[in-house]
A and B are shown apart, each in its own frame.
Chain A
Amino acid sequence: MPFNLPKSNITEITLIGTGGGYGESIVIHLGNNEWVIVDSCQNPNTKESLPLLYLNKIGVNVEKDVKLVICTHWHDDHLLGLSQLLQVAKNANFCFTEATDRKKFLQLVGLDYAKLSREPSNSSTTEFSKCLEIINERHNRIVLAIENKTLFGADISPNIRSEVIALSPSDQTILNFNAEISSLITEFGESRKKIIIRTPNEKSIAIFLKLGVHRAILGSDLEVSSDPNEGWTNVLDNSIVIDRKSSLFKISHHGSENGYHLRIWNELLEDNPVSKLTPWNKNNRLPTAEMLQLYSNHTDKLYMTAPIVSLKPKKRDKSIEKIITSLNCKIHEVKYAQGIIQCRNDLQANTEWVVETLEGALKVN
């Protein structure tokens, strides 16, 4: 029975993903009803936060038991619905990437928010700003993520501890981000134009989980950078928190080529780890068939939250469809599909993960 509350000695890492680029979220049970949520995504039809729906479905007391909500980076597909979740999770602290000059970072957010609030907006800035307002009203803590920092820890029992540790962003990335914030404020520009953060993936928070005897890596959208002091290369060369290999891996950046590094599989992961990913199906599709094959060579426990579907025109009233067709307009709908990959294990026993694929999720190989 997958839609039930795990027992206090059972850990859970569940990936909730969507097929069309509508986002992904991860819910983590550290044990003893302590939950951490990583990112959020939203059903575009109902506007409901998907991790919140899942938590309610399995019977989690979201208000009391969610202890930390992490925003790994500033992309719509990882942020939408986060404020809805935080609104309910009254006990949760809020975590996002460190910025050297915090005041300047808030100024950038504030400026963009003021622009966007002139019209209804579903953007990541609006969502992020709402999260800050909620946390501020409650005086809950802001936890800033930087490589090798423990974001949250819980003693589940006298000899079991669970921890959530950031693997990124690196010091170098944060320094570069600081310079970027300055230039974005300077070139703030016209009121109608959204501020675009360059390469938010480089600032992603990749996470190392210590869950009793188990280890897991959540790759977020972290990429392999050309700078060895950033991205995955920095994690591989400089991380001091990885104490042993992981048996579960959330593949980074939708299984893309620039999120892949052979050394991750050789040095950070056990043989045949449980591996899961959320596809991306917007103007380009991820993962490609070649990358899927590559991942399948590393593990036979490869899972995807939803299939990659072809882009087709949206169904509309016939008269409108006729007009669009006659004008040769090239538009395609990004279809919404949802899947859940639930992984549970005993915190104290060196056992295999019990994996359930729910709704549209599938095992690839």
Chain B
Amino acid sequence: METILDKSWLNALNTNGSAKIDNDFIYNSLQSRVDKQKNIFIDNSDIITSQEFSFNKVSEPQNQSFFLPAISPPYLILESKSYFTGAQKWIGHVTTINEHTFNAQLNDLNDPTTYEIGEFDLNEVPPEDMELLSVGAAFYWSVGKANMNGQVEKKSLIRFQRMKPWSATDYDDALDKADTLFKELNWD
């Protein structure tokens, strides 16, 4: 797998051939790679559903070498603060919203056979997700154990589904397909 440093080296060679490493590039690339991994974990992982990492960007060293490893202390320091180990995961669809609770139909992602009905307190919904709560909305629900700086606790996590917004093209494509179907169907 290409390392960030390799990419930077290639870029440097391609531009002016000089031995110049772009620390900003390395930092941003690494951060975006971790963010991407974080999203993949949240969406797909059965084991780890969220992680928090932080990077400490230090001042630029004076002498660089092309042959440094991809993560080269003391320039970038990875610190794991806490993590969550999901034991069971569902996708839910909100069916009713009450004064203090909401109900949902739950499909077990570990065993997608019979479904379940769940009742949740509204205060289990993260504040940043409250605007997404509505009848028909989809969410992921995980239960498991969280390691909060060494302290293990049982946790329930709800996260409402966020999807890429529709573009005019998406909308038009769907309508075009419908129009084609309308013309082709053998109506009574």
Bound CA–CA A332/B108 (angstroms): 12
Q: Which residues of B contact A110 (CB under 8 A)?
A: 174-175, 177-178, 181
**Given A111, A139, A143, A319, which contacts B188 in the complex, CB threshold below 8 Å?**
A143
Are B88 and A323 in touch, CB under 8 angstroms?
yes
Complex CA gap A324/B118 in Å reads: 12
Q: Kindly specify which of B19-27, B54-62, B75-83, B155-163 makes contact with the partner chain.
A: B155-163
Complex partner residue of B170 from A114, A192, A316, A330, CB under 8 angstroms:
A114
Which residues, 26 to 57 on B, are CB-close (under 8 Å) to A?
none
Question: Do the beta carbons of A330 and B118 come within 8 Å of each other?
Answer: yes
Q: Which residues of A contact B161 (CB under 8 A)?
A: 192
B106 touches A191 (CB 8 A): no
Tell me the complex Cα distance, A139–B183, Å. Answer: 12
With A107-B175, A107-B179 as known contacts, state yes or no: A282 contacts B117, CB within 8 Å: yes
Which positions 121-165 of chain A face chain B at CB distance < 8 Å? 122, 132, 135-136, 139-144
Is A196 positioned at the interface, with any CB of B under 8 Å from its CB?
yes
Given A314-B108, A314-B114, A336-B114: A144 touches B154 (CB 8 Å cut-off)? no
B108 to chain A, nearest CB (A): 7
Verify if B2 is at the interface (C-beta below 8 Å from A).
no
* Chain A min CB distance to B145 (Å): 7
Interface residues of A in 317-365 (CB under 8 A from B): 319-320, 323-324, 326-327, 329-336
Cα distance A107–B156 in the bound complex, in angstroms: 39
Taking a contact as CB atoms under 8 Å apart, the answer to whether B156 and A327 are in contact is yes
Residues of A within 8 A of B8 (CB): none
Whole-angstrom distance between the alpha carbons of A188 and B179 in the complex? 17
A132 to B119, CA, bound (A): 36
Chain A contacts with B in 98-113, Cβ cutoff 8 A = 102-103, 106-107, 109-111, 113
**Complex interface: chain B residues within 8 A of A102 (CB):** 182, 187
Q: 25 A-B contacts, Cβ less than 8 Å apart?
A: A44-B114, A103-B182, A106-B182, A107-B179, A114-B173, A139-B186, A141-B187, A142-B188, A190-B166, A192-B132, A192-B138, A192-B161, A192-B162, A283-B117, A314-B114, A316-B88, A324-B88, A326-B154, A327-B154, A327-B156, A329-B118, A329-B143, A329-B156, A330-B120, A334-B115
Chain B positions near chain A (C-beta within 8 angstroms) = 87-88, 93, 95-96, 103, 105-108, 111, 113-120, 132, 134-138, 143-145, 154-156, 160-166, 170-171, 173-175, 177-179, 181-182, 184-188
Q: Residues of A with Cβ closer than 8 Å to B?
A: 20, 44-45, 102-103, 106-107, 109-111, 113-114, 118, 122, 132, 135-136, 139-144, 188, 190-196, 282-283, 311, 314, 316, 319-320, 323-324, 326-327, 329-336
